[in-house]
Amino acid sequence: MSDNGMSRRDEVEMLLPFYESGDLDGEELAIVEEWLADNPEGQAALEAIQAERATVEAANDNIVPPVDALKRFEQALDQEIAAPQMAVKASVSTSGNWLERLLPAWLIPAPATAMALSALLVAALVGQTVYYSNGTGGIELAGEQGAAPEGTRLIIVFKPDAAMGAISAALKQADAIIVSGPKAAGLYEVVVRDREAETLQSRIDALTKDASVQLVQPMKQGEAQ
């Protein structure tokens, strides 16, 4: 068994598609190469992956974009350029993050749909910021190096109007990290690290009361994915 509870065979099975696509290096590459050298069925497994790839390629290639797509896009772009008030709203920003700049425009369809839609928008916002701000003071995303950290798992919904900086600060203050999401209704799974156990509960309480947070729900044992 490996660290993640998988048998070596499962681990190889998981890595094979990435071996086939040339996306492995280091220890993972060595694991697969060693296994292939010892197991003659490996070639058949690679052929199965190539058959899957060919099937997926054919399924995608069968989808043909409309021939007038560019023409219609240019019409849409004309309208976009002709609507300066929209551009002004989209450029309102408190930082350099591109999605933050889009937030006011995205939140325009306000009252009736706001609650349902805004949760998703915040979800999109957070996801993008994870992507663009990693390592520069933005929100931290678990798993880039493998397994999620140890700690108390929570489900969190951020407020629709929460600023990116506020969400980032709240998570940092709580020593928390997003491990998955967004899920349905903009739910995020967050781990509050327990490396300072004596402050754990106070950090969770502070996160719960933070102005950027709409809902915090502890996860039950075995609920995590």
Partner 1 sequence: MNLFDPSSDRGNASKRVETNVKQDAYHDEDYDLVRRIAGGDRAAMRDLFTRHHGRVFRFIARQAGSQTLADDVANEVFIEVWRAASSFEGRSKVTTWLFSIARFKTLSALRKRTTETLDDGASERIEDDADTPEVSAQKTSKANALRTAVNSLQEEHRTVIDLIYYHEKPVREVAQILAIPEATVKTRMFYARRKIGEFLNDAGIDRGWP
Near partner 1 in 88-117, by CB under 8 A: 90, 96-99, 101-102, 105, 113, 116-117
Q: What is the dihedral of CA 148, 151, 156, 158, to 10 degrees?
A: -80
C-alpha–C-alpha distance, residues 154 and 191, integer Å: 6
Residue 32, interface with partner 1 (CB under 8 A)?
Answer: no
51 in contact with partner 1 (CB under 8 A): yes
* Cα–Cα dist 106/196, whole Å: 39
Q: Tell me the site size for partner 1, rule CB under 8 A.
A: 73
* Of 160, 161, 152, nearest in space to 207 by CA: 152
State both tokens at 19: 């071996």
Rounded to whole angstroms, the Cα distance separating 138 from 131 reads 9
Name which position in 3, 27, 38, 144 contacts partner 1 (CB under 8 A). Answer: 144
Q: Is 69 in the site for partner 1 (CB under 8 A)?
A: yes
Binding segment toward partner 1, per CB under 8 A, in 6-14, 159-167, 202-210, 215-223? 6-14
| Cβ-based burial of 2 (10 A; exposed 0-12, middle 13-18, buried ≥19) | exposed
CB nearer partner 1, residue 149 or residue 206: 149
List the one residue from 5, 60, 197, 220 that touches partner 1 (CB under 8 A).
60
Q: Which is nearer to partner 1, 80 or 196 (CB)?
A: 80
Pick from 32, 103, 122, 128 the residue near partner 1 by CB under 8 A: 128
Q: Which of residues 157-196 bind partner 1 (CB under 8 A)?
A: 179-182
